[in-house]
Amino acid sequence: MKEPLILSGKDVSAHVYDSLLERIKKLSKKKCTPGLAVVLVGENPASQVYVRSKTRIFKKFNLFTKTYQLESSIKSEELLLLIEKLNNNPLYHGILVQLPLPKHINSSDVINTISPKKDVDGFHPENAGLLSIGKPRFIPCTPKGIMKILEFYRINLDGKHVVVVGRSNIVGRPISILTSLKTKGANATVTTCHSGTPNIKGFTLIADVIVVALGVPNFLDSSMIKKGCTIIDVGINRVNSNNEKGYKLIGDANFEDLKNEVSSITPVPGGVGPMTIAMLVENTIEAAENNLFI
């Protein structure tokens, strides 16, 4: 089998940022700086890392961002009040509440309080509904990033069988919807697998494209796939390592085992991850444009 094509989210995101510069300039001529409010509750180390990487990129492009770091003991009502204030603050075109939230806070209540017009994560039921009827406003960042990777590398899904493992509202379900929409580059036949699916291998073995988004390190291996398929690995799993950090990040697909059996595959890190952040920037710019030009 010939060398697999490594689908580099790093390269695709660099291309996306280039294309956003023009839009940022156009907004700046109208005296508008796209702004993102980030709400971080508690001290979850992984969430802190994600928030830092997101805000670093916003600053790099001279966009406005502020992180509201809140105690994990904050009362639900106080958090909802803050979100309402952010909804009404014209400096912010987008609002992101970093998940997961502490157990005493109902995540749905929080997501439902974010104005759908500032919901750059695309998790509000109104935006989820619009996506499911094929008229998306904000598409959740990770699935949107996956579609950009496929588009960039000209992997057309039309007529293909896509198998998605995972059905979360953040990744699995929206990517299942996006890939099945009757749109350019999509139009796939899609199977969604989850923890209630008996014999997932029976599905992955007949897939042209597999999206693994379950959070189980090295779940997918070469015994579970058809030779020459494409693999999109969304998983980010911390596992112990002898390196100086004491851990490394690996995906839901066993890259080393799979790389000589597939036609293309996303690495972890450097695959889907960088696209998630690029799409957050794009959605925030889109929110600012919608605010100005519509």
Assess contact for 48 and 77: CB atoms under 8 A: no
Nearer to ligand NDP, 146 or 181 (CB): 146
SS (H, E, C) 10-43: HHHHHHHHHHHHHHHHHHHHCCCCCEEEEEEECC
Among 112, 168, 187, 290, binds ligand NDP (CB under 6 A): 168
Q: Which two tokens stand for residue 70?
A: 């809140």
What is the pattern of x (binds ligand NDP, CB under 6 A) and - over residues 212-251?
A: -xxxx-----------------xxxx--------------
Q: Which two tokens stand for residue 286?
A: 């889109």
Is 98 labeled as catalytic in the residue annotation? yes
Is there binding between residue 270 and ligand NDP (CB under 6 A)? Answer: no
Is there binding between residue 170 and ligand NDP (CB under 6 A)? Answer: yes
Is there binding between residue 171 and ligand NDP (CB under 6 A)? Answer: yes
Q: Which two tokens stand for residue 252?
A: 């839901």
Q: Which helix (H) or strand (E) holds 247?
A: strand 247-250
Smallest distance from ligand NDP to CB 200, Å = 6
Is 66 labeled as catalytic in the residue annotation? no
Is there binding between residue 265 and ligand NDP (CB under 6 A)? Answer: no
Among 117, 118, 137, 167, binds ligand NDP (CB under 6 A): 167
Is there binding between residue 163 and ligand NDP (CB under 6 A)? Answer: no
117, 118, 119, 121: the catalytic one is: 121
Smallest distance from ligand NDP to CB 165, Å = 6
SS (H, E, C) 104-134: CCCHHHHHHHCCCCCCCCCCCHHHHHHHHCC
Q: Which stretch binds ligand NDP (CB under 6 A): 14-22, 26-34, 57-65, 272-280?
A: 272-280
Is there binding between residue 80 and ligand NDP (CB under 6 A)? Answer: no
Per CB under 6 A, contacts with ligand NDP among 181-210 are 194-196, 200
Assess contact for 271 and 251: CB atoms under 8 A: yes
How far apart, in whole angstroms, are the C-alpha atoms of residue 64 and residue 48? 18
Nearer to ligand NDP, 142 or 179 (CB): 142
Number of residues counted as binding ligand NDP (CB under 6 A)? 23
54, 117, 148, 160: the catalytic one is: 54
Q: What residue number has its CB nearest to ligand NDP? A: 168
How far apart, in whole angstroms, are the C-alpha atoms of residue 22 and residue 16? 11
Smallest distance from ligand NDP to CB 177, Å = 14
Is 54 labeled as catalytic in the residue annotation? yes
How far apart, in whole angstroms, are the C-alpha atoms of residue 114 and residue 85? 10
- Give CA separation, 294 vs 24, 26, 277, 290, 291, in Å: 17, 15, 25, 5, 6
Question: DSSP letters along 119-181, please?
Answer: -TT--SHHHHHHHHTT--SSPPHHHHHHHHHHHHTT---TT-EEEEE---TTTHHHHHHHHHS
- Give CA separation, 181 vs 143, 199, 244, in Å: 13, 26, 45
Smallest distance from ligand NDP to CB 216, Å = 5
Is there binding between residue 165 and ligand NDP (CB under 6 A)? Answer: yes
Q: So which residues are the catalytic ones?
A: 54, 98, 121
Q: Where along the sequence are the contacts to ligand NDP (CB under 6 A)?
A: 142, 165-168, 170-172, 194-196, 200, 213-216, 234-237, 272-273, 276
